[in-house]
Each structure stands twice: as C-alpha cells, then as structure tokens.
Amino acid sequence: MNIDFLKGVIVPIITPIDENELIDEESMRRQVDFVIDGGVKGILAFGSNGEFYMIEEDEMKRGLQIMVDQAAGRVPIYFGIGAISTKKCVRLAKMAKENGASGISILQPMFLKPNETELFLHFKTIADAVPDTPVLLYNNPGRVGYTMSGDLVEKLAHEVENIVGMKDTSGDITQTSEFIRRTRDVDFKVFGGKDTLLYASLCHGAVGGVCTSANFMPEMITDVYNKYIEGDLKGALEAQFKLNPVRLSMDKASFPVASKDMANLRGNKIGEPYKPNLKTPEGPVLYKIKEEMSKAGLL
C-alpha cells in the first residue's frame, strides 16, 4: 500500500450549511478551493471542526461526494468517523471508500471508555472492513475523556496492516513523541493535532499536522510546514510564533464556533454553526479574535 501521500498540513474542513442546516454546496466547493489554493496537502471531511456529530449519514455522503468532485484529485480527501458503535463505523468506512475517500480517520468512541482489548477490536474490525484503504487513528482525549495508550497504538500499528498512521490531539508533546518512537520501525505516519505545536511535532518526527487554522489562514500554517521541510528551521519557528496568537484567540469561543467565525471574517461566507451552537457575539472574545487576525495581516 502506497502511503507516501500521508504528509503535510491536512485541514479538518468546516462544513458550510444553509438556514435548514443542510450542506451548502456552493460554499463547500468554494471552501475546498480556498484551502487547496492555500497550500494544504489534504482535506479531512467531517472531523471535529467539521461538526461530524451533527450530520446525518446521507448528508455526509453528499458532502463527501461534493468534496471529492471539487478537489478533482488535487489533494486526497480523508473521511472522519466519530461514531460510537463499531457497526456504524464499519458502515461509514465502506461508504467513504465507495465514494472516493483516499483514507479514513477514526476517533476513539466517546461517552464509553472501552478497555484496551475492546479498543483494539473496535479499530481492527473497522480497518478489516476496508482492507485496501489507509486508516488513521484519531486520538482526542480532551473530547472523548480518555487517551489512546502507547501500548494500544503500537499494537495496532504492528498488527493491522492498513492502520498506517494517526492524528494526536492530546497537546502533550511527550505523548506525541512516544507514538512516533514506538511505531517508527513500521513507517507509521503520525500527525500533530495542535496547530500551536506543529513545529514541535515536526521536530519529533511527525509527518505533518491536521490543523484547524488551515480553514481560515492556510497560507500561515502551511508556511510553518513548508519552511521546516525546506530546512529553514528558524523561519519555520518564526512562522509558528506568528500563527500562535491568532490560533490561541479562538479558545475563549465555544467549540467549534470560532473556526466558522474566522472563516466568515475572511469573507468565505461559511454561515453559522449547527445549533445549539451560535456564532460568537460581539464582545471581548470576538474583539480579541479580530485584533489578532488584524495583527497577522488576515483582515
């Protein structure tokens, strides 16, 4: 299985919706072009910032078809799976493969806290259902309430052929580094999951990052990666420092509202988040976002 394309900045693309909370096809196609023009190396459909937990399966299928069509082979499209039941995850994985996804990403089940054996069987069952498709694990302890262990990731990487990488959103650079160290003998591709730690993740051997900020400032986050790959470590670090205040300004807003707020501020016409979330109201939080975006030359 060729996995050379697993690298660079991948954007967990936001999902533009209309007043009926259906995917806005025109806006979705514009957003695909915007992030590709901004230099991303891949698009992750229905990740956390894509509000996967709000979207029905038929809408996910339609949205994936739109993204695959609009990308037209320019970058790979990955499909994010965040369901709890193994059966539903298998169904979504097969649907993604049938509709042109280049790979799938699987979040550990939320609400439940499966043990190591249960988690191993969960991920293996999904991967086995799409044996020719690259599978990425998605470790997000802040949202699901527990982390994948190094033991689990190492076992999956060594024993399940098409589990070939992961995104680590722990924000713990030691844990990211351990995932890399313990799987490097099988060419397991680890992506950082915190935009503010992209440079640090690359220094420890990550192949790239799955970065929210690529939705509204792709040119800035890809600059970190591109300079690092070119060997300009000082330039990459400075690019990281330039990006961080903008990214950190998002954290006072409701998750994942700020991603759409900031895309709208750049003129991308993304629309509002799915309810119960609402766009960030005028006040200190939005003021800080605008202030940092202006300082960075984004407005």
Query: Can you read off the two tokens belonging to residue 188?
Result: 């397991």
Q: Please enumerate in sequence order all residues whose Cβ is within 8 A of that of 85, keeping only pairs 6 or more positions apart, or say none.
A: 109
Q: Which residues pair with 138 in a beta bridge?
A: 107, 167
Q: Which of 212, 209, 146 is nearest to 173 (CA)?
A: 209
| Phi, psi (degrees; rounded to nearest 5) at 71 | -65, -35
Please give the Cα distance from 81 to 164 (Å, whole number): 16
- Using DSSP bridges, classify how beta strands 42-45 and 8-12 pair: parallel, antiparallel or unpaired: parallel
| Distance from C-alpha of 214 to C-alpha of 199, rounded to nearest angstrom | 15
Beta bridge partners of 192: 168, 209
SS3 11: strand
Quickly list H helices, 145-249. Answer: 150-159, 173-183, 198-203, 218-229, 233-248
Give the whole-angstrom CA distance, residue 199 versus residue 233: 9
The vertex-63 CA angle with 14 and 166, nearest 5°, equals 60
**What positions carry a catalytic annotation?**
138, 167
Cα gap 175→189, rounded to integer Å:
15
Q: Is 139 helix (H, G, I), strand (E, B) or coil?
A: strand
Cβ contact 152:120 at 8 Å? yes
